[in-house]
Amino acid sequence: MTDLHLLPESFTELAAVQPVGYEISSRVVDPVAVISRHSDRLSITLAGVRITRGDRKIFEAPTVGHAWVVDGQTLRPLPADAPQVILRAIGDEDPSDISYATAIKLIRTPPDGILVEAAQDVLHSGKFAAEQLPSEVTIAGLNADLFPYQARGIQWMWATVTRTGGLILADEMGLGKTLQIIALLLMDPPKATAPALIVCPTTLIANWVREFQKFAPSISLMVHRGPYRAGIYRDLQVASVVITTYETMVNDIAIFSSFEWSWVICDEAQAIKNPHSNRRKAIVTIPRRRSIPMTGTPVENTLLDLWSLADFAIPGMLGDRTVFEVEFPDTLEAGQALGVLTDPIVLKRRVKDVAADLPERIDIDLPLELDTALANHYNDVRETTMEKYPVAGALVATLQLQLVCAHPWLRIPDATAVDWEDAKIEVRDELPLLTPKLDRTVELLREAFLNGRKVIIFALFNRIGDLIRTACKQFPATFWGAINGSTAQEDRQQIVDDFSRHEGPACLILNPKAAGAGLNITAATVVIHFTPVWNPALEAQASARAHRRGQTEPVTVYRLFYKDTVEEVMIDRSAWKRDLANETVPVSSRDAEDLKRALEISPVKP
């Protein structure tokens, strides 16, 4: 049999050769370019289309350079310039290994006179493709037991980023995006000469560090921020992973863009959705081999949000922004058409999608750091209180520090008063409304609301609810309710009923002492403990308002606390008391120790 690849590419020359065993047809067939997926590569082939008695068939050419196709034992011509048209369209790329951006460009805007078709698996959504992968994966150096959906997600991300150079991780809150990224980095640990860069809000720095130390202790870390950060780019090439904030990245873009990073990963990537923002303009200039924006809400306001994320993940994938806005206006039809192109690089799963893989309750501790001004304020309050109340100083100071951690605007006129829950708000211009804890709460609420989730927030101080609502005033059509000690008993169930019946996002802000028992609030699937408590039984009782019989979905429980403050002591003590659930050890045996540590620990860095 003749090796067709060795026959002339020109159909005129082919006809002159008259290969043995084949007939030559003079009827020109319509050309089509077919994009296919082969393991970790995308390829483009040239083919012809014939429709016979309503039956559409595609016949491939031996190579992209051949202007004819093979139809059984018949060789049929394509337009003579078809190979040149395809080769010009892919530029310098190898037809057997084209980029995802080029594939999408050809699908969106086919070359003149040539149809472009994608094989079915090329445009499979990330969610669908991940579901087909094994439920287990072994990753050297990972200290974690992965849920099946996480194992599949990591494998999908590795295959996708290897093929495309980028992707969007859009799993819903509570599904462990951070752990999946850490595991992904362990698949091929970055070297210090080309480290991975993680850019995130300031409030997430402590959590990233904690998660790496817990799940991947072999990975060397560097946190780049503050007055003692690196001054030249070589000072960044000392660890496998560099973690920084968006603000620091913008300020130090000259050194961040001085060498090629193995990865650039953006957490809370809604921060780079605005193409005109300094953050977006800066981060796209950083040389990188692989890019991953992380956000549970890839489209918040307009389809341009998705353009911005996709263009960061795979530069040029969706073309010029102005052309994109014309082609994809903010309509349902345009959104569906865009989804066909972007879904293959987006992994977006909701809790209910993987509920069978999850426990009934997902507990997530979120450590935070006080900024410099708040840390100094914290220390000042401690010292002032101890001087003012020398007898009851320790107890009073501990309560005052809890107030500071809840929000620095909260005040108790009489520090010796019994009822601290009714602390008043006293606005202080030198201290911001949006503290790290309030900022993180707003972000959790924003994502929950955009995904239609209902949320319970537990806070020991009643006016916290007013501060949260002020910080969330931009959220439209949201139900807000509150129950605390001043809420009449006969009104409490009605508030819960209104919350449960509300169509769409809703939030209940509860005092755990007043609403921690007797109420069934299974409409909520997210619980946020805004203020820690000394007694874990009170916290567990509060969480059980949502996580109880009648709940049909997993419940995600967040505990927010500041590192190196009284709150960290409270979290540690709470864990210690839970561990003693089956032990006969008196709680008072650690009271003095915990109180002493609570007053010694300091968030001010030396």
Please tell me the chain's helix, strand, coil percentages from 3-state DSSP, rounded to the nearest 5: 40, 20, 40
- Domain end call among 91, 121, 151: 121
- By three-state DSSP, how is residue 521 classified? coil
Are the beta carbons of 207 and 367 closer than 8 angstroms? yes
Residue 518: its pLDDT value, please? 60
Domain shared by 154 and 233, yes or no: yes
Distances (CA, A) of 485 to 209, 294, 465, 511: 38, 40, 13, 7
Residue 514: its pLDDT value, please? 74
End-to-end CA distance of the chain: 80
Q: Which tokens hold the place of 52?
A: 């016979």
Domain shared by 236 and 219, yes or no: yes
396 assigned to some structural domain: no
- Domain end call among 353, 375, 391: 353
Residue 553: its pLDDT value, please? 83
90 assigned to some structural domain: yes
Question: How far apart, in whole angstroms, are the C-alpha atoms of residue 442 and residue 560?
Answer: 12
Amino acid at 261: W
Residue 516: its pLDDT value, please? 56
- The parts of the chain modelled with pLDDT lower than 50 are 580-589
Domain shared by 17 and 164, yes or no: no
Residue 245: its pLDDT value, please? 96
Task: Say which DSSP state 53 is in.
Answer: T
How many distinct structural domains can be found in the chain?
Answer: 3
Residue 303: its pLDDT value, please? 92
308, 190, 180, 167: which is closest to 243 by C-alpha? 190
Q: Phi and psi at residue 16, in whole multiples of 5°?
A: -70, -30
469 assigned to some structural domain: yes
507 assigned to some structural domain: yes
Looking up residue 254, the CATH number of its domain turns out to be 3.40.50.10810
Domain shared by 153 and 222, yes or no: yes
* CA dihedral sign of residues 488, 416, 371, 535: negative
93 assigned to some structural domain: yes
- Domain end call among 309, 324, 353: 353
Residue ranges in 314-425 assigned as alpha helix (H): 321-327, 332-342, 372-388, 393-406
Residue 589: its pLDDT value, please? 46
603 assigned to some structural domain: no
Are the beta carbons of 137 and 155 closer than 8 angstroms? yes
Residue 517: its pLDDT value, please? 60
Domain shared by 254 and 339, yes or no: yes
Residue with tokens 């309509």: 331
Residue 582: its pLDDT value, please? 41
Task: Give 320-360 pLDDT, tens digit per residue.
Answer: 999 999 999 989 899 999 999 999 999 999 888 888 888 88
Question: How far apart, in whole angstroms, are the C-alpha atoms of residue 420 and residue 415?
Answer: 8
Are the beta carbons of 461 and 421 closer than 8 angstroms? yes
Domain that holds residue 541: 362-366+434-563
Q: Which tokens hold the place of 56?
A: 């559409």
Amino acid at 296: G
Domain shared by 280 and 187, yes or no: yes
Domain shared by 12 and 100, yes or no: yes
285, 241, 287, 283: which is closest to 266 by C-alpha? 283
Question: Sheet holding 74-77: strands in order across?
Answer: 23-24, 74-77, 68-71
Task: Say which DSSP state 135 is in.
Answer: S
Domain shared by 84 and 141, yes or no: no
467, 604, 599, 595: which is closest to 530 by C-alpha? 467
Looking up residue 477, the CATH number of its domain turns out to be 3.40.50.300
Residue 526: its pLDDT value, please? 92
93, 55, 69, 49: which is closest to 7 by C-alpha? 69
Domain shared by 117 and 141, yes or no: no
Question: How far apart, in whole angstroms, are the C-alpha atoms of residue 271 and residue 479?
Answer: 26
Domain shared by 191 and 288, yes or no: yes
404 assigned to some structural domain: no
Q: Which tokens hold the place of 346?
A: 């987006």
Task: Give 436-471 pLDDT, tens digit per residue.
Answer: 999 999 999 999 998 889 999 999 999 999 999 999
- By three-state DSSP, how is residue 203 classified? helix
142 assigned to some structural domain: yes
Domain shared by 44 and 107, yes or no: yes
Domain shared by 227 and 347, yes or no: yes
Are the beta carbons of 400 and 415 closer than 8 angstroms? yes
Which residues, in sequence order, are CB contacts of 224 under 8 Å at separation 6+? 230, 236, 242, 243, 244, 248, 252
* Residue 28: count of CB within 10 angstroms of its CB: 16
Are the beta carbons of 504 and 477 closer than 8 angstroms? yes
